[in-house]
Structure 1
Amino acid sequence: MPSDLDHTPTLMPLPAGQALRLHVAPGTVLHAAAGEMALAGPMQWLAGHCHVPQRHLRAGDTWVVAARGWLTVSASRGAALSVTVPPGWLARLRARLALPWHRARPAAQPVPLRIPDPARQRR
């Protein structure tokens, strides 16, 4: 799933028994808008073994993805999943460039400097 949606939630209906595979980025927010679903993934390596975490979401539950990877969503009943993807690097760069770079600074007053006159010292 592309990560340039600029925090726009995408609602995906899942009929009973349907499975959906998503490639998620860290910070992706999954919200069960309706129904009940099981989440599997993203895969992790623990002590040299492959581990696939399992989670269950019911209507109203929210989960924030901590790691990048593939996620399998299976609906046990008719469900609706809302996916909000964090902005990608391009959207973050655009937001950063839109910030005002020139900040108003107080005007510096000139400081008068006395230049010694070598002619006066000779007398």
Structure 2
Amino acid sequence: MAEGKADEQLFQLLSGLLLQVESLTNTQEVELRSKIEALGLEVTKVPSKSAQLLNDVEIAKELDKLSAKLDDVDEMISSAIASDPQVKSLLSGTADVWMPVITANTEERLNFTASLADDERAS
């Protein structure tokens, strides 16, 4: 459950950053918004029972699909950074929040979500 919470927080952060970029540039990033929302839905949806019985080939195909989606988002972010110094500044200034989640391996991610759960219980 804590992992889902971290995913939700990451996508809330991405949406918030996109809102800031849109307000700074006075343009709506419709395509990027829809891709972030679609990726968020994909990451947070609960797999069906049949999906849990995937073999290695099917798992590899699903990972390829997700990788392609992430490549699209990466390309859009890279082009936004290259074309607008304010976007670069905004992403650089918040990297300490989103980079650990994106670059973490499974074990690090579990530790990250466990520490979030501990923080919530302490509040």
Q: Fold conserved (TM > 0.5)? A: no
Q: Which has the higher helix share?
A: 2
Structure exhibiting the larger radius of gyration computed from Cα positions: 1
